[in-house]
A and B are shown apart, each in its own frame.
Chain A
Amino acid sequence: MEEPFFSNTLAFSYNLGRFQICSELALPDLVPAADAQICADLEIRFGPVPENLPAPDLVMPACQTQGHDSFLLKVPGVGRYLLTSGSRLTIDPVLPRQAPEVARFFMSSVLPAWAQAMGLMCLQAVSMEMNGRAVVLCGGPVSGKSTLAARLAGQGHRIIANDPCLIDTSPHPAVLPTARALILTQESLGLLGHRVPEEDRIGFAHPSFRVPFPSCTGPTPLAMIVFLGSGPSSSLPASRRLKGKDALRKLELSQPQRALAFKMHSPKDKFLKTIRLLNATPCFEMDSPPDTVQEIDFTRLLRSAENE
């Protein structure tokens, strides 16, 4: 007999825009809800998870899918995550339940797939609040987006999201709050002049640190998307407006390309959401990450886009 799911036994409740998540797993990067609903959009529990789905239609070493609303994710050394019916997640951890890795892999791999099944867009990006609106910074692992975000946070801007960056395009594009900290490398912390908080260290081969910053607690209207290039530059960072297929190509590259994400989001639906987002949002490309935040005048960028 199937074990019943009762929301009222779940210890934690979080708001994610118009969605609510109830969980036995603490998720420190999500915004706690003032009151839990009886029927959450996603319920997370600990429990046994089988090695395989009963009738998978996609089988890969780390994941399996069944239909558009069920998947099994296996993370060696961390645990197995099973989503069923699009709204029930069971976690079978190898590590202790409170180990940070259990929540971290939920945020980095499970939440994006679930969010896309719910019709949200997912970008590998950082988002910061500026003048009440969201600026999304896209870029590869060494593009400097987290360091730039930390500099902006140091100037008093609040963080909204830090990979995954979830965007609800309905009715108007808005970034959902999924981060209350930034993950920074030792080099970034050195550049920023921050003390390295050894207790917040995560990862050992390439050490990085979870650094909390003031954060947004609700959906923030999207103002613009900036695609950061990589590589050092001695000159001021040049920025240019991206339109049409150039913006589409950049945005496609910023979305998870994994088979799991592809299976959980209808290609047609994803395409139309992407077009709607680009038609509503100015995009810019920046040649190189800036050495100082003062050199990027985001307000001027936005004003120039609005005046076109």
Chain B
Amino acid sequence: MTENATIALSTTVRQSNNQIAAELDGDVVLMSVDEGKFYNLIDIASEVWARLEHPMTVEALCDALAREFDASIDTVRVDVIALLDDLYRGKLIEIAA
């Protein structure tokens, strides 16, 4: 199974221990400790990141975001899963057991 295929609506995800996050000029900046790479999260991506401090299913995450931002649930799901795929490939989030 590829890494892209592991994030689904039923998947429970959370922030990994392989990252360190800090606020810089109002955005969230993440560093992958193992790889030394930087990631910049802006706008709603920062909100997604904050909610993943505790384990959460992707479906529950998307529902909450769609309600809060009054957005189409389908659009939110596509965008959030794409973001989570990126974060997972960067080892910044992990799949909770």
CA distance A272 to B62 in the complex (A): 30
Asked if B24 and A248 sit within 8 Å, CB to CB, the answer is yes
Interface residues, chain A, with chain B CB atoms under 8 Å away: 243-245, 247-249, 252, 267-268, 271-272, 275, 278-279
In the complex, chain B residues whose CB is within 8 Å of the CB of A245: 24, 27, 29, 38, 40
Also in contact, A267 and B24, with CB within 8 A (given A244-B40, A249-B38, A252-B38): no
Asked if A268 and B27 sit within 8 Å, CB to CB, the answer is no
CA distance A271 to B39 in the complex (A): 12
How many A-B contacts if CB must be within 8 Å?
40
- Smallest CB–CB gap between B17 and chain A, Å? 11
CA distance A271 to B23 in the complex (A): 11
- Smallest CB–CB gap between A251 and chain B, Å? 11
In the complex, chain B residues whose CB is within 8 Å of the CB of A278: 24-25
Number of B interface residues in the complex (CB < 8 A):
13
Asked if A275 and B38 sit within 8 Å, CB to CB, the answer is no
In the complex, chain B residues whose CB is within 8 Å of the CB of A243: 25
Considering the complex, give the chain B residue whose CB is closest to the CB of A276. B22
CA distance A245 to B46 in the complex (A): 14
- Smallest CB–CB gap between B35 and chain A, Å? 10
Also in contact, A275 and B36, with CB within 8 A (given A248-B29, A267-B31): no
- Smallest CB–CB gap between A67 and chain B, Å? 18
- Smallest CB–CB gap between B30 and chain A, Å? 9
